[in-house]
Amino acid sequence: MKFNESVIPLFICCIILIIIYMSTGPKIIASIRENITFVTNSIQESKKIQVWVIKDANPEEVYALGEKLKTMPEIENVQFVSKEETANKYKERLKEYPNAAEAIETEYFSDSYIITLKQISSKQKIEQKITEIENWKKTTSKKNVFFN
């Protein structure tokens, strides 16, 4: 059986392409999977807003703020985060810098609520509604939220 000599380079190119695909195919699939996961997580995280409570609010006022947030139909979840938890989170992030971590005091922080929106499209509406509630200081988007 004789091979046409012009087919041999094509055959070699096909073999090389198969080898390249076999060596990079799983990497490409893994990369696509990672990108999809990243985009999905980013969308989920952008649905979160941290609502900081004013520092001089008493426990009843802090609780009342949380209850008001829970009544908003656009909000899926409300999670309370104490100022102690926030201080500890900062200390954890700064553990490589012991002097900085030791300097963190709980009184630098205030309690907060992390709210998760049902839909991203309601973010501006919710932020506007929050401005009408008493005892909140500011809101921050998920990129600045300390707890998940």
User: Is there a single domain that holds both residue 114 and residue 139?
Assistant: yes
Residue where a domain terminates, one of 12, 28, 45: 45
Q: Is the pLDDT assigned to residue 148 strictly greater than 50?
A: no
User: Is there a single domain that holds both residue 66 and residue 96?
Assistant: yes
Residues 69/126, Cβ–Cβ less than 8 Å: no
The parent domain of residue 94 ranges over: 48-144
Q: Is the pLDDT assigned to residue 123 strictly greater than 60?
A: yes
User: Is there a single domain that holds both residue 70 and residue 25?
Assistant: no
Give 145 or 6, the one with higher predicted confidence. 6
User: Is there a single domain that holds both residue 114 and residue 137?
Assistant: yes
Residue 112: which of 59, 50, 58, 48 has the closest Cα? 50
How many Cα atoms within 13 Å fall on the side-chain side of residue 29?
6
Number of domains, the chain: 2
Q: What is the pLDDT of residues 34-48, one digit of tens each?
A: 767 776 666 666 788
User: Is there a single domain that holds both residue 80 and residue 92?
Assistant: yes
Look at the alpha carbons of 56, 60, 79, 105 in this order and tell me if their dihedral is positive or negative: positive
User: Is there a single domain that holds both residue 104 and residue 120?
Assistant: yes
Degrees to nearest 5, angle at CA 50 with 74 and 101:
165
User: Is there a single domain that holds both residue 32 and residue 89?
Assistant: no
Q: What is the pLDDT of residues 52-89, one digit of tens each?
A: 888 888 999 999 999 999 999 999 999 999 999 988 88
Task: Tell me the pLDDT band of 104, cut-offs 50, 70 and 90.
Answer: confident
